[in-house]
Amino acid sequence: MGKDNAKERRMKKRAEERQPPKQPAPKQGKVKQEPKREYSADMPSQLHCPRCKTLMDKGVCPHCGHYVYVPMDKGKVKKIKLVLTVVALIAFVAIFAVIQSKK
């Protein structure tokens, strides 16, 4: 009986040696995030096509047609948000006025 236990212990030890070492579990608190890319005036005003190296026009290569996303500048985004807010406010006031006139 002593031999069986010793044999089992040796087999168990060999099996543990074959397995890769256990890695610690990742911390749940802080998760590493990639830094946000800010697009601003620091970006080059002239972009070259990654395929054919031709100067691109508004994110589209005139030579091969390759398309690169070029985000709007912050000024345009603010103007669009302002216009949409004003339009939504006017629509809300118009709907409210129609509902009040029917009562």
Name residue, tokens 């010793």: 6
64 close to 52: Cβ distance less than 8 angstroms = yes
Q: pLDDT category, 3, cuts 50, 70, 90? A: low
| Token pair belonging to 46 | 């002239």
List pLDDT tens digits, range 26-45.
Answer: 566 655 555 554 444 445 56
pTM higher than 0.85, yes or no?
no
Number of other residues whose CB lies within 10 A of the CB of residue 3 = 7
